[in-house]
Amino acid sequence: MTTSTERITSKDNPLLVRIRKLGADSGAYRKQGLVWLEGDHLISAALQRGVALSELVVAESAWAQRADWRRWAPEVRRVVEVPDALFAGLSTLDTPGRIGALMSLPPAQALAPQAFTVVLDRLQDAGNVGSILRSAAAFGVRQVLALKGTAALWSPKVVRAGMGAHFAMQLIEGLSDDDLAALQVPLLATSSHQGLVLGQSPLPWPCAWVMGHEGQGVSEALMARCSHTVRIPQPGGEESLNVAAAAAICLYSTQAPT
């Protein structure tokens, strides 16, 4: 680990080129094996969970002003200062966070058969995916399984929307329906018109909640694997809920026995 800093002033520096590629391509982390974390909240959340960060990249003016950020230096391998204008070129935010870090993409792990789980079936919107991850972490989910066609879990938009949830759970992506056969817990899917009424019927524990595509819902093949469908009461008469809102309600309503 380091307590010194290195100054980079060229936009063509290989490190900065890598970071710009990570921001421009939602799937670039798979090719590089690296994840770009922008903003002090994500960096703090990662360090609190014991995540190793390889590079800390900071706008020069911010590094001079933020003593709290400088305390992170001994916890990372390399600290790089760049001119503010150069950092703005790395940022994927309308208002650049002035600090970012690189971490190694966590290695692929085996599915945990009996874990409290969320399954994402082809969700397209990065904000929805990140919000679901955030709710899942808050309500004790141990793993999230993303089927092929789901927004890239470690893309910058999903990571930002997750607000640090990525570091609290096991995430596995690129799965097929058949891979879910390894789960030894019941699969539950939401329905707007049939099934158990949430809050009025006992639910199995542990279980795996299946959250489907924003427009198409859960696929027929995956629905056939579900042991229960569950309906969220909507006395206001709306046709359906946003998938991230539905996920938060379902996960809050699913509690381990005390």
**pLDDT-based confidence at residue 231 (cuts at 50, 70, 90):** confident
Which pLDDT value is given to residue 190? 87
Amino acid present at 158: V
Q: Look at strands 117-121 and 53-59 and give their pairing.
A: unpaired
Nearest Cα neighbor of 243 from 148, 143, 119 is 119
- pLDDT higher than threshold 80 for residue 140: yes
> Quick one: pLDDT band at residue 197, thresholds 50, 70, 90?
confident
Whole-Å CA distances, 223 to 9, 99, 119: 54, 43, 12
Q: What is the DSSP letter of 142?
A: -
Mean pLDDT (the chain, rounded)? 92
Residues 87-118: pLDDT tens digits? Answer: 999 998 888 889 999 999 999 899 999 999 99
For position 1, what pLDDT does the model report? Answer: 62
